[in-house]
Amino acid sequence: MKILSIETSCDETAIASVEASGGLRNPKFQILKNLVASQVKVHQPFGGVVPNLAKREHIRNLPILFKEVQGSSFIVHGCDLVAVTVGPGLEPCLWTGINFAKELRMYPNTANKPKIIGTSHLDGHLYSFLLPQKTVNPKLQTLNPKQKTLEFRVSNLVFPAISLLVSGGHTILILMKDLTHLKKLGETRDDAVGESFDKVARLLGLPYPGGPEIEKVAKQGNPEAINFPRPMLNQKNYDFSFSGLKTSVLYYLRDPKQRIHPNLQNNYSDHSDKFVGWDRIANVAASFQKAAFDALIKKSLRAVKEFEAKTIIITGGVAANKTLGRMFKQALKEDKFKINLIIPEPKFCTDNAAMIAVAGYINFLQNKNKRLIARGDLSI
């Protein structure tokens, strides 16, 4: 079945075309087109996403991307299902995607009007690990000789799995007994981990979005330089908290002894070490990143142990951070856990529409469909 998917929940306008086949035990996906129009440059001067500007950009970008994916304006030919994100996210932005999907069906030329399936953005992240990728354990994937891509094999080698969803809006730990039996174990009680990266980056004078910038700068710093707190680390639950960590960074930077050279904050684009205090910024970035990741890793591994999981799956924008993957691998080695670690390719970690097609298909197979209304606070 050919799926056209639309994602407009935040600041990326994305449309994909994905061929999906197989049942819930062996779903297969082949990406035909996967386009993302990034709005980073539009929002960067404001240090974060401006909802009205995001909506304006989505309205402008959607027809352009659609034409590129479908080869024609407003005609959904050769497509069996349209999957569109209905939440969570910024409601004005979600509406642009939903209305666009609905309008596609109104055009008289549209032959065989496809069904529209309302899809959760969180399901998109959660199932993004099913997209073709190169890095998974060979036992879990088969080579598709036609496409020369690796297909994920859902099997009892994978489940039960612990899934860690880490994005700009969410930090959730989920037990997956299989593809459809999910149990939320815990989540953040305040800021999402990606949000704390963005806020700390701003404190350091680094541009938006902060996550990739902190990752880059942290490579030049010492993660042991500052012992930032790891809130809730020792509590016997699976919840997280990141706002205290961000506040500790703020207090650290306010300390006159630690103050960063003011010129430096305006010269963030020049990541050279000739500036006074650059090493200090790098140490703050590296130490903050380590504190945040220590919390994610410790709780995830505790869940692995309790539920005897065979796999850890990490998804969402923060999963694009290579240091997170390395730290997880190291921790698994130290604790002598012989389990699979699955992290989608970076382009499938950050917001994209291919993952919405995957989630749409998994929901379609279960006869699940969300109403076509924007729900900013939709949860898992």
- Provide the CB-side half-sphere exposure for 249 (13 A, CA): 28
Site residues for ligand KG4, 253-292, by CB under 6 A, read none
What value does the CA radius of gyration of the chain take, rounded to a whole number of Å? 21
Query: Which of 87, 114, 212, 223 is close enough to bind ligand KG4 by CB under 6 A?
Result: 212
Based on the shown chain and the rule CB under 6 A, indicate whether residue 197 belongs to the binding site for ligand KG4: yes
In order of 35, 58, 92, 167, the CA distances from 32 in angstroms are 10, 22, 29, 25
Q: Distance of alpha carbon 310 from its chain centroid, rounded?
A: 22
Q: Is residue 290 within 8 Å of 138, Cβ to Cβ?
A: no
Based on the shown chain and the rule CB under 6 A, indicate whether residue 210 belongs to the binding site for ligand KG4: yes
| Size of site (CB under 6 A) for ligand KG4 | 20
Name which of Zn ion, ligand KG4, none residue 210 binds, using a CB cut-off of 5 to 8 Å depending on partner kind.
ligand KG4
Tell me how far, at minimum, the Cβ of 282 lies from Zn ion, in Å: 28
Based on the shown chain and the rule CB under 5 A, indicate whether residue 133 belongs to the binding site for Zn ion: no
Based on the shown chain and the rule CB under 5 A, indicate whether residue 283 belongs to the binding site for Zn ion: no
Q: Is the CB of 141 or the CB of 188 nearer to Zn ion?
A: 188
Based on the shown chain and the rule CB under 5 A, indicate whether residue 351 belongs to the binding site for Zn ion: yes
Q: Is the CB of 31 or the CB of 76 nearer to ligand KG4?
A: 31
Based on the shown chain and the rule CB under 6 A, indicate whether residue 350 belongs to the binding site for ligand KG4: yes
Which residues, 6+ apart, have CB-to-CB distance to 326 below 8 Å?
none
Name which of Zn ion, ligand KG4, none residue 318 binds, using a CB cut-off of 5 to 8 Å depending on partner kind.
ligand KG4
Stretch that binds ligand KG4, among 111-119, 128-136, 205-213, 219-227 (CB under 6 A): 205-213
Based on the shown chain and the rule CB under 6 A, indicate whether residue 194 belongs to the binding site for ligand KG4: yes
Tell me how far, at minimum, the Cβ of 217 lies from ligand KG4, in Å: 11
Q: Is the CB of 171 or the CB of 287 nearer to Zn ion?
A: 171
Q: Is residue 367 within 8 Å of 81, Cβ to Cβ?
A: no
Q: Is the CB of 51 or the CB of 153 nearer to ligand KG4?
A: 51
How buried is 333 (Cβ within 10 angstroms: 0-12 exposed, 13-18 middle, 19+ buried)?
exposed
Q: How many CB atoms lie within 10 A of CB 36?
A: 19
Q: Distance of alpha carbon 40 from its chain centroid, rounded?
A: 16
The response to whether 38 counts as a known ligand-binding position is no
Based on the shown chain and the rule CB under 5 A, indicate whether residue 167 belongs to the binding site for Zn ion: yes
The response to whether 168 counts as a known ligand-binding position is yes
Name which of ligand KG4, Zn ion, none residue 213 binds, using a CB cut-off of 5 to 8 Å depending on partner kind.
none
Per-residue contact string for residues 214-233; x = within reach of ligand KG4 by CB under 6 A? -x------------------
Name which of ligand KG4, Zn ion, none residue 209 binds, using a CB cut-off of 5 to 8 Å depending on partner kind.
ligand KG4
DSSP letter for 188, please. Answer: B
In the chain the first and final C-alpha atoms are separated, in Å, by 26
Stretch that binds ligand KG4, among 28-36, 74-82, 211-219, 220-228 (CB under 6 A): 211-219
Per-residue contact string for residues 151-170; x = within reach of ligand KG4 by CB under 6 A? ----------------xxx-
Residue indicated by tokens 């094999």: 153
Q: Is residue 210 within 8 Å of 200, Cβ to Cβ?
A: yes
How buried is 151 (Cβ within 10 angstroms: 0-12 exposed, 13-18 middle, 19+ buried)?
buried
Site residues for ligand KG4, 290-329, by CB under 6 A, read 316-318, 320-321
Q: Is the CB of 135 or the CB of 155 nearer to ligand KG4?
A: 135
Q: Where are the alpha helices (DSSP H) in 169-277?
A: 193-203, 210-218, 243-254, 262-265
- 207 phi and psi, to 5 degrees? -75, 165
In order of 132, 144, 158, 207, 354, the CA distances from 128 in angstroms are 9, 18, 15, 27, 8
The CA distance from 47 to 191, in Å, is 17
Q: Is residue 126 within 8 Å of 174, Cβ to Cβ?
A: yes
The response to whether 166 counts as a known ligand-binding position is yes
Stretch that binds Zn ion, among 56-64, 107-115, 162-170, 327-335 (CB under 5 A): 162-170
Based on the shown chain and the rule CB under 6 A, indicate whether residue 198 belongs to the binding site for ligand KG4: yes
Residues that bind ligand KG4 (CB under 6 A): 10, 167-169, 194-195, 197-198, 209-212, 215, 316-318, 320-321, 350-351
Q: What is the contact surface with Zn ion in residues (CB under 5 A)? A: 167, 351
